[in-house]
Amino acid sequence: MDIAGSAALVTGAASGLGAATAAALAARGATVYGLDLDKAVAGAEAPADGVTLLAADVTDEEQVRAALARIEEDGAELRLAVNCAGIAPSARILGRKGPHDLELFRTVLEVNLLGTFNVMRLAAEAIAKREADEHGQRGLVVNTASIAAFEGQVGQIAYAASKAGVAGMTVTAARDLAQYGIRVVTVAPGIVDTPMMAGFSEDVRAGLAASVTFPQRLARPEEYARLVTMIAEHDYLNGETIRMDGALRMAAR
């Protein structure tokens, strides 16, 4: 697909993977609408040129529909949706204070899995209205899983379950949306140097980097964004989950 001249919706766009992806797509000529929570949008740095930040909760149907309506009102043609919004609290199934909090597990699944599905289904409805190109293509949805979907560590039960669900939707979503000319691809990043990592000490960060096979460093949000642009421009990538992890296979802890 041609990124230039298209509209793109990016969730979690106030920081980290979402902000880097929004900036990269805008640099390629897309009109980008970034979604994030109210407080995240209020506290975000000024977005890159070509990026408009909108406050919306990905788990809320009406808020996502309102964001999509804004794109339509602006006369932009949505052809790309990228789901980066997510949370990653840590808790064991059974810890010193008792069993895993059920509401915490539910919240992680709601944000990471239900939120991804909600945006995917509503964005697909909007993309399906676009005129197809000469090959029958209308657009693309990129979802974000994690290598925790395959090798979740101690304390990652909710996060691993939610991201395994995202990876598990990929082929079925690609098959469901094929008749509309919409591709679906999932990226499963390893350890990325996002604001979520900012609270770790340099020693901890160095230890995490050393666990990566090669290159022995944390991934950069810009590398995730570059992969998204590559997926968009590579029309034969569909129904696939791509690991971006430096060949890292997570240990138990």
Active site residues: 159
- Rounded distance, CA 93 to CA 96, Å? 10
Structure-block tokens of residue 17? 């993977």
